[in-house]
Structure 1
Amino acid sequence: MTTAVVAPFRFFSLHVVRTRRLGPSLVRVTFAGQDLEHFFSDGHDQSLSLFLPHPGQSEPRVPHELGDGWWQAWRELPDGVRAVMRSYTLRALRRDPDEIDVDFVLHTPAGPASAWAAGAGAGDRVVLLGPALADNRAIRFRPPGDTDLIVLWGDGSALPAIASILESLPAGQRVRVWLEVHDAGDVQELTTAADAEVTWVVGAGSVDALREARLPAAERPYVWIAGESGCVKALRRHFVRERGFDRRRITFVGYWRQGMNEEQLRAAE
């Protein structure tokens, strides 16, 4: 396949190096490949599009070239042949050797991506649509320099981004975090130098918990919320209408929508 760089994104041909269970509902898959020497990202919530093979395929089928028409070209591939596409967040990028980590939520019942991740093994091949430029539009966590309080909310799909964001924050930065996971075993020890307070909510209820929370006084807060679209929109309205936050200082990202798969969500957008 063609792998020439088309800034700021390109296709990367990768293979699985190893997998590691992080909890009952979470698995980390580490990918490598020669193409990763061209992979660059300075973001802590870098979005990626991952293309997975169907059962029985040795590799995913994607368009041969990345250009303005790649989406339509992918859609025109026959059902059952066209690669399964799902959006994920980069968890980590390492050099020497070049590797990336992507964390998967294992759903019940399992969709095609969850089923693939649960059974992934060394050598399994995937294609990634990712950044060839370190600063790109798929990075959304961009707090203004004068921010005196960061508020983060996410469900399991946003956990990798939030973990990476926390690792990047300097000592003294005030942060309040709400994370919703399916199982108590999915709660992780998060690393940060920041002045962070993390609230874990098992099952539903994190939206109400944040709505009812008393936040520290701040003159220039910044909010980052990501996960299921309906929850994200509800929380954005809450911060703007009920808390009076400046909407320009709120970043909100719908990673998924209840009752819709990736193809349906992209078509709706």
Structure 2
Amino acid sequence: MSAVPPYLFFRPRVVRTERLSPTLLRVVFGGEELAAVVSGGRDQRFKLFLPQPGQSTPVLPEPLGLDWYADWRALDPAVRGIMRTYTIREARREPAEVDVDFALHGDLGPASRWAQLARPGDEVALLAPVATDNGGVDFQPPKGTDWVLLTADETALPAVAGILEWLPTGTPVKAWIEVAHPDDRIPLATKADADITWLIRGTSPTVLDTLTAATLPEGTPYAWLAGEATTIRALRRHLLHTRTYPRPTITFTGYWRRGSTEDDLLTAEA
């Protein structure tokens, strides 16, 4: 008997949208099939496929097999569904819904444009987890971690929210989150002992400057860094070479790269 793959494709529709802040928009996807989605929580990622302008549904290869990625790459880029990576903010079964929070950047990207125009009934496709142990959760503090360090911008804010909700009661946390607008400082529920510093882009010091000047706790850290790729690399270098943190104690992910789209990065792979 063949094992069930940890991710499956779904074709849900938009149920509703909710503006969380000037920059953050929550889109709720629904459909009975979404009852099979199982999130590992924290920074659980999945693939979202959006229709091209003028299409009512994203175009995907048929059939959708194990080689879906190669088959999708082989389609005309002007026709195939627009693929982006996002965080599952919450998955529910009654009703079967998945919440996804979008960081809006005007017309700078197709996902931002789509989210701002999303209406109930709009169809998308998801490649989403159907097993808790699915390889799509990067926040994995090792045994013996004494405290947690988080840095993020608004693109990683949904993941930070999930991490803070997941952390055990009393876990010491130092977090720096850079956002575009003061009203982007949304409430973050947690049982952890979290010291959260919000930075407003353009008026506050940068995350790197703030972290460089910070006095950090003693003990064994676990650092999770996410956001713009160039910034994340600089933060990681600081922790590795100035703070001398061991490499296994740092998880870093570039959620986006200044001056490039995910499509640009795919083109560079070709």
The TM-score bracket by the shorter chain reads over 0.9
What corresponds to 1:138 in structure 2? 136
Alignment partners' CA distance in 2, 1:68 and 1:258: 32
Structure 2 gap segments, 5+ residues each: none
Aligned length: 264
**Cα contact 2:39–2:88 (8 A) shared by 1:** no
Of the three residues 104, 107, 112, the one matched with 1:106 is 104
The 3-state SS of whatever aligns with 1:254 is strand
1:69 aligns with 2:67: yes
The 3-state SS of whatever aligns with 1:125 is coil
Q: Compared with structure 1, are the counterparts of its residues 248 and 150 closer, same or farther at alpha carbon in structure 2 (3 Å cutoff)?
A: same
Of the three residues 165, 168, 173, the one matched with 1:167 is 165
Amino acid at match of 1:46: Q
Alignment partners' CA distance in 2, 1:49 and 1:268: 19
**Cα contact 1:6–1:66 (8 A) shared by 2:** no
Instruction: Render the CA deviation track for 1:186-235: whole Å, top value 9, x for unaligned.
Output: 111111111100001111512211121111112x1100001111111111
Amino acid at match of 2:25: V
Normalised to the residue count of structure 1, the TM-score between the two structures is 0.93
**Cα contact 1:154–1:226 (8 A) shared by 2:** yes
Alignment partners' CA distance in 1, 2:8 and 2:131: 10
Amino acid at match of 1:191: A
The 3-state SS of whatever aligns with 2:124 is strand
Percent of matched pairs sharing the same residue: 49
Instruction: Render the CA deviation track for 1:10-40: whole Å, top value 9, x for unaligned.
Output: 2111110110011111100001122212211
Q: Compared with structure 1, are the counterparts of its residues 267 and 138 closer, same or farther at alpha carbon in structure 2 (3 Å cutoff)?
A: farther
Amino acid at match of 1:216: P
Alignment partners' CA distance in 2, 1:16 and 1:128: 12
**Cα contact 1:30–1:100 (8 A) shared by 2:** yes
Instruction: Render the CA deviation track for 1:106-143: whole Å, top value 9, x for unaligned.
Output: 11343211111001011110001111211111110010
Structure 1 gap segments, 5+ residues each: none
Alignment partners' CA distance in 1, 2:90 and 2:153: 19
Q: Compared with structure 1, are the counterparts of its residues 251 and 65 closer, same or farther at alpha carbon in structure 2 (3 Å cutoff)?
A: farther
